[in-house]
Chains A and B, each alone.
Chain A
Amino acid sequence: MRPGLLVGCLLAGVALAAAALSLVWTPYDITQLAIAEKLHGPSVAHPFGTDHFGRDMLSMAMLGARVSIAVALVAVGIGMGAGVPLGLLAAANRGGWLDEVIMRGNDLIFAFPSLVIAILITAVFGPSAVNAIIAIGIFNIPVFARVTRGGALPIWTLDYIRAAEVSGKGGTLISLQHILPNIANLLIVQGTIQFSLGILAEAGLSYVGLGAQPPTPSWGRMLAEAQTMVTLAPHVAVIPGLCIVLTVLGLNLLGDGLRDALDPRLRVLR
């Protein structure tokens, strides 16, 4: 296994495991405030220290992982759920008006600065994790549509697709049975990349108060709260930031590693 892929798996795995573990167990109960122990640095009892309410930062970071990962994951789901069928449809109708309409619509969404629109959406419909998911998810749709269409087009010219057409299969059936399995690799890689971008976007939205709302902890909100205390206790700002960086780094390395590992042509080259 390549070192990049290994490190990526490890980092992303830790984040996912922490989020999953937080569903059943965290070292401390974060609804219990302990003001006497506020802003303590890392120690044996609190490996990541405590925040301004004396809450355990490790427990907060684990719960924050859950929100960040859930938001980014569902946003990828929205992007794939809508983008892949659109891309398949465009490829099946390649050169036709449907293809043109879908791809021009894609270009249009691409032209929008996603962050601005995400802010607009969350501002209009009220800040919440659900609206953050929708805002991030919408901008995943054209990405997946484009990747799907791009991957599907060369496959449509292959002989076995001809054979399927001759045997009487329609465009939908061919897309699902023959095209989709062949572009699954591409979609997994793109999914990893959008997942990491989603975590960054969620962190940004929560940081400006447009993502998950109190009392739900999220990495972005932890950073926003840390901003005024950064001189007193730098660890409250450093730890959530490191969580974001390491998770995103892990996912990016995983995506790159998977692309190299799944693409036989790249394997031969090395």
Chain B
Amino acid sequence: MLRYVFRRTISLGLSLLVASAVVFAVVELVPGDPASFMLGTGAQPETVAALREQLGLDQTLPVRYAAWAAALLQGDFGQSFTYKTPIAGMILDRMQVSLPLAMMALLLAASIAFPVGIYAAARRGRIGDAAVMGGTQLGIALPNFWFAMLLVLLFAITLRWLPAGGFPGWGQPGPAIKALILPAVALALPQAAILARVLRSALIDTQGQDYIRTARAKGLTAGQTLLRHALRNALIPVLTIMGMQFSFLLAGAIIIENVFYLPGLGRLIFQAISQRDLIVVQSAVLVLVAAVIAVNFLVDLAYAAIDPRLRRR
């Protein structure tokens, strides 16, 4: 296990290194100079040159990458070009919306997918199963931002149960949670559909196994066997998918945050893009990518801890 952890840690470090280089390089390719953009079209060339020097834009690419990466490792993301505030603080602020949103959505997706997936597997091949599978096909095809618009139309505008957008801040926990309900539902439903399908097929895959036959032979009912023995074994692929979904939800919230005007990381990225505040774009994207890579790493380790056969790879 230790060797596996060691090897995975090395590849984690490598992934982060490449990810940071890619994010850095892509933003460097941007046509247009942040310094001249910040100063406007009427700026004197000397002023632009001075600002370029102040921002470190006159250095060569590798030097700037090294300086940027070294600062990142110390938690220093630099300063926003537009707001002149430390980016680390901005990102931390925005994370307080994006992270709870992703967690709520994942929780919701799991609490829908588990009963539905188990039900479909238990009723395999019958009308209930067919109905669930048809429903999940529809769920997978649903663009979450469109679903979000329909939710707003029904629950916010017509019924007035929940707010249509905005976020009051965690100072008011009640309204804050209420503001995240519709976005979480919009994010969760398509993921729940995927998860339910994975759970169903993982459960069905266990049905031919010897230990299931043994369980049935010793007198357990089909339902008991499913819940006590099949479910545990089906959990492994399901957990992997959930890990992937968490990172998807964190990153996928970008569009949903825009539908609901939530001040999360996604909106920060879009605002920074429109203001040409590239260092903020760079940092926020990197944080998202790093979070995804880190979650994948943790899932791999959890996976290996549960299933020793996987450590050999």
Contacts and interface: CB of A to CB of B under 8 A. Distances in A.
Nearest to A201: B143
A240 B150 CA distance: 12
A82 B274 CA distance: 33
Interface in A204-241: 204, 207-208, 223, 226-227, 230-231, 234, 237-238, 240-241
Contacts of A248: 140-141, 143
Contact of B288 (A113, A126, A237, A246): A113
Contact of B292 (A111, A223, A252): A111
Contacts of A203: 143, 146
Nearest to B247: A113
B252 A223 contact: no
A120 B15 contact: no
Given A111-B293, A223-B149, A120 B26 contact: yes
B281 interface: yes
Given A113-B289, A204-B255, A223-B146, A119 B140 contact: no
A240 B251 CA distance: 24
A245 interface: yes
A121 B140 CA distance: 25
A242 to B, nearest CB: 9
Given A111-B15, A120-B281, A207-B255, A245 B138 contact: yes
A115 B251 contact: yes
A140 interface: no
Given A112-B292, A116-B289, A200 B143 contact: yes
B217 interface: no
Interface residues of B, number: 42
Interface string B242-275: 0000011011101100110000000001100100
Interface in A127-149: none
B69 interface: no
B296 interface: yes
B51 to A, nearest CB: 21
Nearest to A114: B251
A207 B269 CA distance: 15
A241 B144 CA distance: 10
A59 interface: no
Contacts of A237: 146, 149-150, 153
Given A230-B153, A249-B137, A116 B285 contact: yes
Grouping DSSP codes into helix (H, G, I), strand (E, B) and loop, the B interface class, with mixed when no group exceeds half, is helix
Interface in B260-313: 269-270, 273, 281, 285, 288-289, 292-293, 296
A125 B251 CA distance: 20
B251 A231 contact: no
Contact of A245 (B19, B30, B31, B142): B142
B27 interface: yes
A244 interface: yes
Given A241-B143, A241-B146, A244-B143, A115 B15 contact: no
Contact of A111 (B19, B258, B259): B19
Contacts of A73: none
Interface string B1-36: 000000000000001001100110011011100000
B157 interface: yes
B119 interface: no
A125 B150 CA distance: 32
Given A116-B251, A120-B285, A249-B137, A108 B153 contact: no
B78 to A, nearest CB: 18
Nearest to A248: B141
B258 A196 contact: no
Contacts of A234: 153
A108 B141 CA distance: 27
Contacts of A119: 254, 269, 273, 285
Interface in A1-21: none
B185 interface: no
A204 B31 CA distance: 24
B114 interface: no
Contacts of B293: 111
Given A112-B292, A115-B252, A124 B26 contact: yes
Which residue among B152, B255, B281 has the maximum number of chain A CB atoms within 10 Å of its CB? Answer: B255
12 contacts: A116-B288, A120-B285, A121-B26, A207-B145, A208-B255, A227-B149, A227-B259, A244-B143, A245-B138, A245-B143, A249-B138, A252-B140
User: Which 9 A-B pairs rank lowest in CB-CB distance, beginning with the nearest?
Assistant: A113-B251, A241-B146, A248-B141, A249-B141, A123-B273, A116-B251, A124-B30, A113-B292, A245-B141
Interface of B: 15, 18-19, 22-23, 26-27, 29-31, 137-138, 140-143, 145-146, 149-150, 152-153, 157, 247-248, 250-252, 254-255, 258-259, 269-270, 273, 281, 285, 288-289, 292-293, 296
Given A116-B254, A207-B255, 17 more contacts: A108-B18, A111-B19, A113-B248, A115-B254, A116-B251, A117-B26, A117-B289, A119-B273, A121-B26, A196-B141, A208-B254, A208-B270, A231-B157, A237-B149, A244-B143, A245-B146, A253-B137
